[in-house]
Structure 1
């Protein structure tokens, strides 16, 4: 029996296919929005488009890992026992950043309400919509696969910078829905990329401390959720978050807790070869 060939440049192919799937899905979101469909329909379609990286990884999986089980791969990403200390540190760091941004926005902006939601029902809806449209749809492909795949041959920090850049560029179509133009749009893109690449480094540090995909999902969720909660100028919001997360990333790079950012390579994907299959 001929041996199935593994896909060359799996991360590059994953990024390319993710964008190919995302662009038409995002265009559909724009079309149904212009046609005046109900908000919940737009939200559902937006959630589906956010899962483009998972769709891409699922399509490529058998070529990347011949003979392996996709379901088992997903299970392995959640197999390690969660560390309470890691979760606690994630929550307090991001909550601190949220409170600092909230203070700055409330001080520098005149708005009727500092929050975008006005009831518990809206808060719960917003929380779960964000969870479905970002963290749950993106983390398996970008972190569970691409980050760990690059860490086989690169330091986690270098892998973070590479994946952070392409993860940020994947958001490119969304930049042009902000209604910002000219220098304001350029500033938004710059701060957006700084924020994305910084949060990516923070994700990697905590993910490598506790190799369970729940960790980057929590970080991603809190990042999106906290930004969306604050009613303020969009450019100010992304600028403040970019500054604080950049500082957090630099601190992690300096202290490098337990050697998780630049002192090791070959973070295991925890996939065991089938009997008779070479490593």
Structure 2
């Protein structure tokens, strides 16, 4: 019998360590920018800092799940067969939101171009930079571990709000280096938090439908990518995202409350035993 002592508060320990690792990495990113080092160095360091939650989870893994394999844990998060209907529905919702925001920016802005990228090459580079500097580095810890760990005690909705809040707070250093002040900073933080918590609820609903971490990775990637290629006022963009993603979250709860208010869809006994083996 494995007698290794488990952490009493694994999620709290994960969140704390994630922030402890992230802060010096973020400061290093800032130093690289101030020193004017090549942009590729800045981008690489930005990607590394985004993986702070994965580093934290890997460091704590043996204390959270004594005797278990980290590699097997990660594999199990991707072992369920992807459902095309789930992926397409999630993507279509985000494309609709993107198009609505583009229309609003085009209608209300006087900029020459609605988009920040001017070539396919720049768009492809921006897509993959965002993929490595966000979804791939964050989803294992925040969604694969923390969200599912809290769902053992709370409803998916409450777990999403809790994790969404702390996921948003993890971005706190970015808020205070945005250059915004006063009411603009307050609006930025408010819309940012509403956007992230709402997006987290959407992620949870679709993840619970399919149980494959590819789903939240796609949703996270499209959220970051779409807002990044629209050329508009940052606060306005965050406001539009907050409104539309909150609307999407509410609509999903109304249409399919089972996967948000009460729990995940039923899975077979063997699948349940496999997915819960890390809690024993």
Gaps of 5+ in 2: 267-271
**Cα contact 2:209–2:264 (8 A) shared by 1:** no
Question: C-alpha offsets along residues 167-207 of structure 1, whole Å, 9 cap, x if unaligned?
Answer: 00000111122211110010010000000000000000000
| Aligned structure 1 segments of 4 or more residues deviating by more than 6 angstroms | none
**Cα contact 1:115–1:230 (8 A) shared by 2:** yes
Gaps of 5+ in 1: none
TM-fit CA distance, 1:255: 2.1
* Structure 2 equivalent of residue 260 of structure 1: 259
TM-fit CA distance, 1:2: 7.1
Question: Which of 263, 272, 275 is 2:277 aligned to?
Answer: 272
Question: C-alpha offsets along residues 195-254 of structure 1, whole Å, 9 cap, x if unaligned?
Answer: 000000000000000000000000000000000010110010000000000001111122
* Structure 2 equivalent of residue 83 of structure 1: 83
1:132-147 equivalent positions in 2, closer than 5 A: 132-147=132-147
* Structure 2 equivalent of residue 57 of structure 1: 57
Whole-angstrom CA distance in 2 between matches of 1:264 and 1:52: 29
Whole-angstrom CA distance in 2 between matches of 1:264 and 1:168: 23
TM-fit CA distance, 1:265: 7.1
TM-fit CA distance, 1:266: 11
1:48-127 equivalent positions in 2, closer than 5 A: 48-127=48-127
Whole-angstrom CA distance in 2 between matches of 1:272 and 1:112: 55
TM-score (normalised: structure 2):
0.95
**Cα contact 2:2–2:66 (8 A) shared by 1:** no
2:183 equivalent to 1:183: yes
TM-fit CA distance, 1:40: 1.1
In structure 1, the residue corresponding to 2:132 is in which secondary structure?
Answer: helix
TM-fit CA distance, 1:120: 1.0
Given the superposition, is the C-alpha separation of residues 266 and 56 from structure 1 closer, same or farther in structure 2, using an over 3 Å criterion? Answer: farther
TM-fit CA distance, 1:63: 0.1
Whole-angstrom CA distance in 1 between matches of 2:129 and 2:177: 19
Given the superposition, is the C-alpha separation of residues 231 and 185 from structure 1 closer, same or farther in structure 2, using an over 3 Å criterion? Answer: same
Alignment root-mean-square deviation, CA: 1.6
* Structure 2 equivalent of residue 17 of structure 1: 17
TM-fit CA distance, 1:99: 0.2
Whole-angstrom CA distance in 2 between matches of 1:110 and 1:264: 46
Whole-angstrom CA distance in 2 between matches of 1:2 and 1:117: 54
